[in-house]
Amino acid sequence: AQKVTQAQTEISVVEKEDVTLDCVYETRDTTYYLFWYKQPPSGELVFLIRRNSFDEQNEISGRYSWNFQKSTSSFNFTITASQVVDSAVYFCALSAAETGANNLFFGTGTRLTVIP
């Protein structure tokens, strides 16, 4: 069965520190997609990235980077030089045939607080 584990419930960092949010997933499917979403205090989830299971290249977008490792079933998210505006709840999600390929299965989220 599918599973997405975000073991870090809450993280606090001081502004300008780097921080990594962990995501470990389980699925029986060989084709699947992984996602990251950000939920700021306003409440609306904002899509950050989608990565398919056949593309293990790391991705960088500004201060954000993602490390996908199939060998450890992990899709970790790093924020470099964190800023107060990065404070939010971050969700990792999985889409696979066993979840219903139109559907997303979410982890429980990690609340990141960036202290000025």
Partner 1 sequence: DVKVTQSSRYLVKRTGEKVFLECVQDMDHENMFWYRQDPGLGLRLIYFSYDVKMKEKGDIPEGYSVSREKKERFSLILESASTNQTSMYLCASSLSGRYNEQFFGPGTRLTVL
Residues interacting with partner 1, by CB under 8 A?
9, 32-33, 35, 37, 42-47, 50, 52, 91, 95, 100-109
**By C-beta, is 36 or 79 nearer to partner 1?**
36
Phi-psi category of residue 48: left, alpha or beta, with phi > 0 → left and psi -120 to 50 → alpha: alpha
- C-alpha 95/C-alpha 79 separation (Å) is 23
Backbone angles phi, psi at 114, to 5 degrees: -105, 120
Contact 100, 77 (CB under 8 A): no
Closer to partner 1 by Cβ: residue 33 or 73: 33
List 3's β-bridge partners, or say none. Answer: 26
Of 19 and 93, the one with the shorter C-beta distance to partner 1 is 93
Tell the smallest beta-carbon distance from residue 1 to partner 1 (Å).
11
Least spacing, CB of residue 48 vs partner 1, in Å: 9
Nearest distance from C-beta of residue 92 to partner 1, angstroms: 9
